[in-house]
Amino acid sequence: MVTGALEAHGMHLPLSTDTILPTYLAEKVAMRTKALVLPTIPFGDSWSFNNFEGTISIAPNALMDFYTSVMKGVFKHGFRYLVVLNGHGGNIPVLTLAAKAATDNGQRAVIIVNWWKELAESARKLAEETPMGHAAEDETSEVMHVRPDLVNMAKAEVHRVVTRFTIISGTSREELLPSAMYGDPRKATPEKGRLIMEQAEEELISLVNQLEKGELPITKR
């Protein structure tokens, strides 16, 4: 299951950035394993970006029902494991609730992979010169690798507004995330994106191989 978003990503990246990247990874992994890939869910909870042009955010309760129905649908057909390759941070709370609802009974597991923060850690450390963000060096590099035709670096801006607390305000979205940006995309290159995507692909393949053996990806310490 691949979950994305239709959400402003600065002025230089496509609205579907969070959909394009995990879909690309899922298709790569499917070619090299027996994993089946569901059609990507291209909308997510993008509340924080809802005032920016092009963003379409789905209400969390609607998303919760949708995700839960998809998960239950998969399990109804006898699958034991469902990997959610999630491309968007705003989806995490709802995905977690949906996974709990879908796995309450029976021998089954939903494995949520928030790929941008849980995969390719060493490639990111090696390749990136600036911290992770939103439409920042990391995401920009990845889209440059996967869909260079959709990147317009002439429009790239640099913004980083920090806060110690969680501020939720419908009228302060532009103030908190100027130009739908957080970070510095200027050092992005397709080569950095390639390194990150290749490592993410290998790690996902290891995960699928482990699940095919009936093992959950856990380590006992």
Residues forming the site for Zn ion (CB under 5 A)? 17-18
Nearer to Zn ion, 17 or 114 (CB): 17
Question: Nearest distance from residue 18's CB to Zn ion, in Å?
Answer: 4
Nearer to Zn ion, 1 or 15 (CB): 15
C-alpha span between 89 and 115 (Å, rounded)? 10
Q: Please enumerate, as own/partner, the contacts of 161-169 that have beta carbons within 8 Å and a separation of 24 or more.
A: none
State the amino acid at position 182 in one-letter form. Answer: Y
Asked if 75 and 106 touch (Cβ cutoff 8 Å), the reply is yes
Question: Nearest distance from residue 156's CB to Zn ion, in Å?
Answer: 14
Q: Residue 161: helix, strand or coil by DSSP? A: coil
Q: What are phi and psi of 86, to 5 degrees?
A: -95, 135
Nearer to Zn ion, 54 or 80 (CB): 54
Asked if 146 and 21 touch (Cβ cutoff 8 Å), the reply is yes
Question: Nearest distance from residue 89's CB to Zn ion, in Å?
Answer: 8
Residue nearest to Zn ion (CB): 18
Cα 26 to Cα 165, 169, 200, 209, distances in angstroms: 34, 34, 10, 14
Question: Nearest distance from residue 96's CB to Zn ion, in Å?
Answer: 19
Question: Nearest distance from residue 134's CB to Zn ion, in Å?
Answer: 6
Nearer to Zn ion, 44 or 75 (CB): 44
- Nearest CA among 15, 2, 12 for reference residue 141: 12
Nearer to Zn ion, 18 or 184 (CB): 18
Nearer to Zn ion, 18 or 45 (CB): 18
Asked if 42 and 91 touch (Cβ cutoff 8 Å), the reply is no
Question: Nearest distance from residue 163's CB to Zn ion, in Å?
Answer: 19
C-alpha span between 95 and 150 (Å, rounded)? 28
Report the phi/psi class of residue 40: left, alpha or beta, with left for phi > 0 and alpha for psi in -120 to 50: beta
